[in-house]
Structure 1
Amino acid sequence: MPTITEAYVDSLAPNAGAIKNGRDLVKKNSFPVLNESPDGTLLFGECKGSGKEPYRCSVDFANEANPVFRCSCPSRQFPCKHALGLLYARAMGNPFTQAEVPQDIADKRDKAEKREEKKKDAAESVGNAPAAKRKVNKNALVKKFASQLEGLRLLEKLVLQLVQSGLGSVDKKTVQMIEDQAKQLGNHYIPGVQAKLRELVHTMQTEGDRESIHSQAMEQLLYLHSLAKKGVSYLEKRMDDPELPMETDSSLEEQLGHAWQLAELREYGRVQPDAELLQLSFLSYADAARGEFVDAGWWADLGDGTIRSTRHLRPFRAARALKEEDTVRAVIRTEELFVYPGEFNARVRWEAATQRDAALDDLAKVKKAAASSYADVVKQVKNIIKNPLADKTPAMLVAYRSIDKTADGLCLRDAQGKLLPVSDLTSNGRATSSLIALLDEKDLKDQAALVMFSHRLDDNRLSVQLMSIVTDSRIIRLLY
């Protein structure tokens, strides 16, 4: 069983309301019975409910990386507040009495073990033979590619029309036409492209400085033009040979709208074994253009210092039914880390994981991985962002000798005296520069920082937003 802390239980809760409700059950002494199995792998008990009979809830840690929650309540929330309350009771130090595993849970454990044995036997029977290649329905794929190509060519015409007429001539009627085109793309199996076109509509509908809005719109048009061009070239090749493997050297498939399945990532060898990750920064925001909430995290791979990202999407319409991600302070350990195709800050995902408290040695590993030369960092970032389809706000871990205030504002200074200007990105709506004044003097010297780069087209200037600071003893989260 993992060390059960309140932070650990918070991480399991589907939303903030479930956290509050679970904690309230403990505060109201709603658990007359609190038990644990002799081997410590099962917590179970009874919780007072609205009816005569109490709810019987349990949390099974037979597989520590994938705990099983059970409850007799009718709630569709998972885990329910009663199972969470059981864990909060343990985290808050309430006494648990040792008791034998209930027969119904023992039976369910036996069934689960038999299922796992069958899976294991099936895997052993295959041995080391290569996995069978998935069958391809060529006719269906060709039809899909043809529809996608038609959609991309419609997009090419639209972008050309907007560029030729000029953004200054765009009025409400034109914006409505673009929005109608975005809806039409929904029939062409390219949801990623459709979402990007909706972002352009959202930008053009924004009130404010027109020059700034037009500059942002031009970037989006450049992206759409490049995506259409590369997408057409890629899909034409796949139409000629439907059995060609999907693109995994870039995020082109995802940008077109493909939702990678874990089985596909495994098939393409996008699995990293025995990974340990430490979250350095976290941000939740609403993406109005896509109609979804985004829970984004940036993590340091403790194996090699690579900065990974996670992105949990919750459509507005289904947000209440989906688990909200939150800040994670523990080290995540997973036997299999699935790595999505991408050029930088590759997105990752895992099915099951255990947690342990972050140690000073983990912070030392992160600091050691920080880039020390800003000249090399800037060169690397420029090579990244010159790709029209690349993320224009890459996150990197950099070391700094000091954080200084200059005539032009705050900046990071490396050991060679080179400077990185510090500013706040308008795209994420979070300001962190003002928080620097609240830090101790020792935090401003000889530490490491996770930063997000941004590039201004008007003056060709690179700057960074401070996301977090990593010291020898703690992580100071500025963007969260």
Structure 2
Amino acid sequence: MTEQGVRWTADQVLALAPDAASRKAGSRLGTAGPWSGTGSGEGTVWGLCKGSGSKPYQAVVDLADVTGPAYRCSCPSRKFPCKHALGLLLLWAEGDGSVPRAAEPPDWAAQWLSGRRERAEKKETGGGGGSASGTAAPGAARRRAERRAERVTAGATELEQRLADLLRGGLATAEQAGYALWEETAARMVDAQAPGLAARVRELGAIPASGPGWPARLLEESALLHLLDQGWLRHDRLPDALAATVRSRLGLPAQPDGPPLRDRWLVLAQYDTADAKLTTRRIWLHGADSGLTRLLLSYGAAGRAPELSLPVGLVLDADLSVFPGAGQARAALGEQYAPPVPAALRPPGATTAEAAARYGEALREDPWLDSVPVTLDGVVPVQDTETGGWQLADAQADSALPLTEPFRARPGLWRLVALSGGAPVRVFGECGHRGFTPLTAWPGGPGDPVTLC
């Protein structure tokens, strides 16, 4: 939510659209031009959108409802959400300041919110005498959830057929068809309100142009996508934790689950990834007392830095609440009890063999997991004289982890080599099937952390 510095992605917003026409119309309204009086706060987003009449439409979205977002707009549309609500959420998701934080919503929005939350409190306390109106909101939320589940099921079923057609026709047809076929399939998954499937389909489309060995990689990723489809189509038979993991991989909205955990959280790493529309910031934290490693996500419009920023090496006394799912590392930042301060803390380290074993164990809970956070201790960066590739060798054992190709092309590799100078160092990073990606390193003796990403 907005208070936690974590915003929705554009795909998550568009997945709320009741149909393709609403998604297209909402996208056109996702810019600052037609909007005025926008604001956000306490799980709410509001704004005025210029329409064809003399008065602007009043749109407000309640994101704090545990049953899912609720919408109110003064336009005559009978679609929920309407294009104005979708456009407002897209504008908010950009995080570029067009929807500023505000202390209080305007009267027209506050009145609607107050009425909704008063009714919710009455339901929780048993008020309302069990009248029909007291059950209307939960019933509507249930129907919305059922309609979305039906759309996702239809999308997953269609994707299964397309994967079967791909294998029946042979993998070579993927190279001949080009990227347009995959983009059209991805758009169908967005229409089905399954943005996670859409993202994975787009990744499939890029594989045939990824160089030698692409058929094997395409087959592997197709198998994982098939597994995710089947996980959703049979989610009612899965354990609760695994079912929650499937939902998160599909891109369905979720709220932090369980009580918050207060700890002294050491900032291990912070780095951004960007595409044409969005910048995603990943911040890894390590609990000094709990020993847990957690991930915060923050978003910003493409070319703009996300709001949340925590420099590496600081310690934050705060609450974190984890999201549902088997082996889920993502968390939401809650109450902060003191400003972040520098500290000499270091996370405990593991061997390269232990790191590989941790990733294997994590795959049992989440087969679609690309990597796990691991701190390696006593490792030395060395280069293979035959292949020219780099790896982190365990100074005390005959084992090593290869460094991922993208990292080997970054300046961080040479910072790591210079920091080590042939001596063992401690390195935090992400360990997965493609190798190990170093993010932060500490020298063997006293010294500050060095960022590598």
Q: Tell me the TM-score normalized by structure 1.
A: 0.58
Structure with greater Cα Rg: 1
* 2:198 equivalent among 174, 194, 198: 194
Partner of 1:227: 228
Once the two structures are superposed, residues 209-254 of structure 1 have per-residue CA deviations (whole angstroms, 9 ceiling, x without a partner) of 2x2443443332122111101010015x69xxxxxx9657752211
Partner of 2:250: 256
CA contact under 8 A between 2:380 and 2:420: conserved in structure 1?
no
Could you list the runs of 5+ residues in structure 1 that have no partner in the other structure?
A: 1-11, 13-74, 81-118, 127-132, 239-244, 457-462
Q: Distance in 2 between matches of 1:234 and 1:76?
A: 39
- 1:449 to 2:427 alignment: yes
Q: Distance in 2 between matches of 1:386 and 1:425?
A: 25
Once the two structures are superposed, residues 278-322 of structure 1 have per-residue CA deviations (whole angstroms, 9 ceiling, x without a partner) of 22222212135xx42211122222223322222223354xx65x7
Partner of 1:90: none
Partner of 1:417: 397
CA contact under 8 A between 1:424 and 1:432: conserved in structure 2?
no
Partner of 1:464: 436
* 2:343 equivalent among 324, 342, 359: 359
Q: Distance in 2 between matches of 1:339 and 1:420?
A: 32
| Counterparts of residues 76-95 of structure 1 (less than 5 Å) | none
Range with greater deviation from structure 2 (215-224 or 381-390): 381-390
Partner of 2:184: 180
- 1:370 to 2:349 alignment: yes
Partner of 1:346: 329
Q: Distance in 2 between matches of 1:140 and 1:314?
A: 28
Q: Which amino acid aligns with 2:349?
A: A
Q: Which amino acid aligns with 2:333?
A: W
Q: Distance in 1 between matches of 2:220 and 2:264?
A: 36
CA contact under 8 A between 1:424 and 1:433: conserved in structure 2?
no
CA contact under 8 A between 1:246 and 1:253: conserved in structure 2?
no
| Counterparts of residues 56-67 of structure 1 (less than 5 Å) | none
Q: Distance in 2 between matches of 1:313 and 1:342?
A: 21
- 1:337 to 2:320 alignment: yes
Q: Tell me the TM-score normalized by structure 2.
A: 0.61
Could you tell me how far 1:77 is from its partner in structure 2?
A: 8.1
Once the two structures are superposed, residues 110-143 of structure 1 have per-residue CA deviations (whole angstroms, 9 ceiling, x without a partner) of xxxxxxxxx9xx9xx98xxxxxx99454444333
Q: Distance in 2 between matches of 1:200 and 1:379?
A: 28
Could you tell me how far 1:393 is from its partner in structure 2?
A: 2.4
Partner of 2:284: 298
Relative to structure 1, is the Cα distance of residues 248 and 218 closer, same or farther in structure 2, using a 3 angstrom cutoff?
Answer: closer
- 1:272 to 2:260 alignment: yes
* 2:447 equivalent among 473, 477, 480: 473
RMSD: 4.0
Once the two structures are superposed, residues 71-130 of structure 1 have per-residue CA deviations (whole angstroms, 9 ceiling, x without a partner) of xxxx858689xxxxxxxxxxxxxxxxxxxxxxxxxxxxxxxxxxxxxx9xx9xx98xxxx
- Partner SS state of residue 405, structure 2: coil
Once the two structures are superposed, residues 37-92 of structure 1 have per-residue CA deviations (whole angstroms, 9 ceiling, x without a partner) of xxxxxxxxxxxxxxxxxxxxxxxxxxxxxxxxxxxxxx858689xxxxxxxxxxxx
| Counterparts of residues 86-235 of structure 1 (less than 5 Å) | 135=138, 137=140, 138-171=142-175, 173=177, 175-204=179-208, 206=209, 209=211, 211-234=212-235
Relative to structure 1, is the Cα distance of residues 176 and 155 closer, same or farther in structure 2, using a 3 angstrom cutoff?
Answer: same
CA contact under 8 A between 2:358 and 2:372: conserved in structure 1?
no
- Partner SS state of residue 354, structure 2: helix
Aligned residues: 327
Relative to structure 1, is the Cα distance of residues 436 and 175 closer, same or farther in structure 2, using a 3 angstrom cutoff?
Answer: closer
CA contact under 8 A between 1:277 and 1:331: conserved in structure 2?
yes
- Partner SS state of residue 342, structure 2: coil
